[in-house]
């Protein structure tokens, strides 16, 4: 089973970027942690980060037929990228949307995400643990899908 973790714009700066909101962990710390957790769960894990909308869409497309589920933190694109929303709607594998911060307790423009309607579920507000919960959800969804298909 293969899980892909996609991170959108500005998440490459985690650790240095607004640490009061996003914490002190770098993206590398989060990925290293997830790699360990994936090993315990017996699943393969891969990572992709880009600051570019098109690159995120290409990554979602390329993953068709290659991954069993995706965890995505679309960053600010969550709030307004119809193109990213359409790409998520177009793929056939389960997608879990995650956010480090609780977007519903922040500025009003963060309360709405265009992506949440097309993902299997959303996790928001648990810091780096959002990724761990996302991994658990993604593995569960992929397993359900495999057992539905067999």
Catalytic residue positions, numbered: 22, 99
100 near ligand DQA (CB under 6 A): yes
Q: Which two tokens stand for residue 53?
A: 């909308």
Q: What minimum distance in Å lies between the beta carbon of 60 and ligand DQA?
A: 16
Phi, psi torsion values for 2, nearest 5 degrees: -120, 130
101 binds ligand DQA (CB under 6 A): yes
Is residue 90 involved in binding ligand DQA (CB under 6 A)? no
Q: How far apart are CA 81 and CA 114, in angstroms?
A: 7
CA 52, CA 114: separation in Å to the nearest integer? Answer: 17
Residue 85, interface with ligand DQA (CB under 6 A)?
A: no
Binding mask 22-61 for ligand DQA (x = CB under 6 A): ----------------------------------------
Residue 85: CB minimum distance to ligand DQA, A:
14
Q: Segment near ligand DQA (CB under 6 A), from 32-40, 48-56, 94-102, 131-139?
A: 94-102
DSSP 38-51: HHHHT-EEEEEE-S
């Amino acid at each position: 089973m293969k899980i892909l973790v996609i991170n959108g714009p500005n998440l490459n700066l985690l650790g240095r970027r607004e640490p009061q909101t996003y914490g002190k962990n770098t993206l590398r710390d989060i990925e290293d942690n997830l790699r360990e957790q994936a090993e315990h769960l017996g699943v393969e894990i891969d990572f992709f980060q880009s600051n570019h909308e098109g690159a995120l869409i290409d990554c979602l497309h390329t993953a068709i037929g290659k991954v069993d589920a995706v965890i995505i933190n679309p960053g600010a694109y969550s709030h307004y990228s119809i193109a990213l929303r359409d790409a998520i709607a177009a793929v056939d594998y389960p997608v879990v949307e995650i956010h480090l911060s609780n977007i519903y307790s922040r500025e009003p423009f963060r309360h709405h995400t265009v992506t949440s309607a097309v993902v299997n579920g959303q996790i928001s507000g648990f810091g780096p643990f959002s990724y761990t919960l996302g991994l658990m959800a993604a593995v569960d969804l992929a397993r359900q899908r495999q057992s539905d298909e067999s």
